[in-house]
């Protein structure tokens, strides 16, 4: 997924999201129309696009089924059981019958051979009476010894189609007309793939740390801009032109009244109103940075369904290849849920979506999520703001996340400005 935060401190979003928001073009039929394959395929395309919009509403992930289990007949195979899922592009992934997926490619062939016996302890083709159980080569003191040197693999499902029911196209046999036969059906299916496991918790923690750092950069930029304006006021520099040039370079995202306000003031009046002007300009920039777009992803992004531990050549006492453990529980399995672009971790709440919301709404929402938040916010009456008020706001807006911590007893406190009409009481940060 990508997120559209406008800050140098965060990764820039993909310019053209492969599975992002797209315009819907509905076909229209009329009496006497000459229907072509393009018209009918457009109807199919429009229907598919409509269905795929559910990824923004309901999210993506495993809906039901798709359990993983060991294949008792093949020690390097995982069985993917029937089930349904939705990938990040909103496409349906349906497994209608058990699939056996071989993971032996992850084990170097020249160093590791597949075990010649199945999970019942006998070689394939033998009866139980004729078989001999494998004799261990090295004494193993605990199960953890078996996992030393094992390959850890993440398992994914990818959307795929297969053509079927070939038919002869009328008038297609002439030169330059292409093949005589065309598939008249496309079977929607899945292809399982594996990747060497990554530590997704570390990656999520990095994204969250990057987000927090970018928020602090934005706050620092606003503070520096405020100090620059204060210096110009003390030096008697004309602020009106300087402020308008700044708005030309970074036009307001929401607060269009700021430019009208500055234009309506003489330069001396701009000086008298510089503090609220700077507050609204800085808040507009912060809100523009902290907004999310609709989720998007690369169509090649697979759906995580589990993780497998494969015995490799470095496993003590064996050079055979077999699966030691397969897990289809989170976090290795991506369950169906909707995702916002605000990075977070288990036990953490990203507070960015609550900026500039009404205090009562924010309080109720965080309480419903069992977030420890003070019943009384840090309240600032913003009727006659001064430089000290701006510094106070900056001081009491230092937090952008709230995470569960052992022994934590101090709740977060919202900073609320009483702005009067039309804004009312707005949350501008947390401390």
Domain boundaries, the chain: 37-45+52-129+140-167+182-198+297-327, 203-289, 348-430
Q: Bigger pLDDT: 264 or 13?
A: 264
Q: Which of 32-36, 218-222, 371-375, 383-387 has the weakest average pLDDT?
A: 383-387
Q: Any residues with CB less than 8 A from the CB of 74 and at least 6 apart, and which?
A: 100, 102, 118
Per-residue confidence (pLDDT) for residue 320, from 0 to 100: 72
Whether the per-residue pLDDT at 281 is higher than 80: the answer is: yes
Whether the per-residue pLDDT at 131 is higher than 60: the answer is: no
Dist. CA 115–CA 299, nearest whole Å: 36
Whether the per-residue pLDDT at 99 is higher than 90: the answer is: yes
Whether the per-residue pLDDT at 308 is higher than 60: the answer is: yes
Residue pLDDT, tens place only, 62-77: 999 999 999 988 888 9
Q: Which residues pair with 384 in a beta bridge?
A: none
Per-residue confidence (pLDDT) for residue 10, from 0 to 100: 37
Whether the per-residue pLDDT at 9 is higher than 60: the answer is: no
Whether the per-residue pLDDT at 1 is higher than 50: the answer is: no
Residue pLDDT, tens place only, 334-374: 988 766 678 888 888 999 999 999 999 999 999 998 899 99
Give the N- to C-terminal CA distance of the chain in Å, as an integer: 29
Per-residue confidence (pLDDT) for residue 109, from 0 to 100: 59
Dist. CA 145–CA 131, nearest whole Å: 27
Element (H, E) at 101: strand 99-102
Per-residue confidence (pLDDT) for residue 8, from 0 to 100: 36
Dist. CA 134–CA 121, nearest whole Å: 7
Alpha helix ranges (H) inside 176-238: 200-235
Please report how many Cα atoms fall inside a 13 Å half-sphere around the Cα of residue 378, on the Cβ side: 17
Whether the per-residue pLDDT at 300 is higher than 70: the answer is: yes
Question: pLDDT category, 97, cuts 50, 70, 90?
Answer: very high
What's the predicted TM-score (pTM) here? 0.74
Per-residue confidence (pLDDT) for residue 172, from 0 to 100: 63
Distances (CA, A) of 233 to 2, 112, 314, 385: 41, 75, 71, 16
Output the six-digit token pair for 115: 């075990």
Output the six-digit token pair for 322: 């077999």
Per-residue confidence (pLDDT) for residue 63, from 0 to 100: 92
Dist. CA 331–CA 200, nearest whole Å: 9
Question: pLDDT category, 314, cuts 50, 70, 90?
Answer: low
Dist. CA 408–CA 400, nearest whole Å: 17
Residue pLDDT, tens place only, 133-190: 455 555 666 777 777 778 899 999 999 988 888 877 776 655 555 567 888 888 899 9
Q: Any residues with CB less than 8 A from the CB of 3 and at least 6 apart, and which?
A: 10, 13, 292, 293, 341, 342, 343
Residue 165, SS3 per DSSP: strand
Q: Bigger pLDDT: 130 or 230?
A: 230
Residue that the structure tokens 């000290």 belong to:
388
Give the distance, in angstroms, between the CA of residue 7 and the centroid of all CA atoms in the same chain: 18
Q: What's the whole-number mean pLDDT along residues 254-276?
A: 90
Evaluate whether 313 touches 149 at the Cβ level (below 8 Å): yes
Whether the per-residue pLDDT at 122 is higher than 70: the answer is: no
Dist. CA 137–CA 135, nearest whole Å: 6
Per-residue confidence (pLDDT) for residue 13, from 0 to 100: 35
Output the furthest CA–CA distance in the chain (Å, rounded). Answer: 101
Q: Which of 42-56, 101-115, 297-311 has the weakest average pLDDT?
A: 101-115
Per-residue confidence (pLDDT) for residue 367, from 0 to 100: 92
Q: What's the whole-number mean pLDDT along residues 50-60?
A: 83
The DSSP line for 276-311 is HHHHHHHHHHHHHHT--------TTPPEEEEEEEE-
Per-residue confidence (pLDDT) for residue 386, from 0 to 100: 83
Dist. CA 135–CA 289, nearest whole Å: 63
Taking CA 223 as the corner, what is the angle to CA 219 and CA 228, rounded to the nearest 5 degrees? Answer: 150
């Amino acid at each position: 997924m990508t997120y559209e935060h406008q800050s140098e401190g965060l990764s820039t979003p993909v310019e053209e999201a492969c599975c992002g928001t797209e315009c819907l073009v509905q076909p229209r039929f009329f009496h006497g129309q000459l229907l072509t394959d393009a018209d009918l395929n457009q109807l199919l395309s429009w229907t598919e696009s409509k269905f795929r919009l559910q990824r923004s509403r309901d999210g993506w992930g495993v809906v039901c089924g798709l359990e993983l289990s060991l294949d008792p007949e093949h020690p390097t195979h995982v069985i993917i059981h029937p089930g349904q899922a939705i990938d990040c592009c909103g496409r349906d992934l349906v497994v209608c019958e058990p699939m056996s997926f071989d993971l032996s490619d992850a084990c170097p062939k020249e160093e590791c051979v597949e075990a010649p016996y199945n999970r019942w302890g006998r070689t394939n083709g033998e009866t139980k009476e004729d078989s001999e159980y494998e004799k261990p080569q090295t004494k193993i003191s605990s199960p953890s010894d078996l996992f030393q040197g094992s390959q850890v693999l993440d398992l994914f499902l990818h959307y795929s189609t297969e053509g079927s029911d070939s038919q002869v196209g009328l008038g297609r046999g002439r030169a330059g007309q292409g093949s005589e036969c065309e598939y008249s059906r496309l079977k929607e299916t899945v292809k399982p793939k594996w990747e060497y496991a990554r530590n997704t918790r570390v990656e999520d923690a990095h994204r969250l740390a990057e987000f927090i750092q970018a928020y602090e950069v934005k706050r620092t930029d606003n503070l520096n801009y405020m100090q620059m304006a204060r210096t110009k006021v003390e030096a008697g520099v004309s602020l009106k032109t300087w402020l308008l040039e700044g708005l030309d370079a970074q036009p307001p995202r929401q607060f269009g009244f700021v430019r009208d306000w500055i234009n309506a003031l003489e330069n001396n009046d701009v000086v008298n109103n510089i503090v609220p002007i700077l507050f609204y300009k800085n808040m507009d920039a912060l809100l523009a940075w902290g907004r999310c777009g609709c989720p998007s992803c690369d169509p090649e992004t697979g759906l995580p369904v589990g993780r497998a531990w494969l015995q490799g050549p470095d496993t003590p006492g064996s050079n055979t290849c077999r699966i030691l453990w397969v897990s289809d529980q989170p976090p290795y399995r991506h369950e169906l849920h909707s995702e916002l672009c605000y990075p977070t971790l288990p036990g953490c709440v990203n507070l960015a979506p609550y900026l500039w919301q009404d205090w009562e709404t924010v309080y109720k929402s965080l309480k419903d999520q069992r977030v420890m938040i003070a019943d009384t916010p840090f309240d600032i009456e913003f009727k006659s703001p001064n430089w000290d008020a701006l510094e106070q706001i900056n001081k009491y807006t230092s937090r952008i996340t709230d995470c569960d911590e052992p022994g934590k007893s101090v709740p977060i406190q919202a900073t609320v400005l009483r702005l009067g009409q039309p804004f009312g009481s707005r949350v501008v940060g947390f401390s």
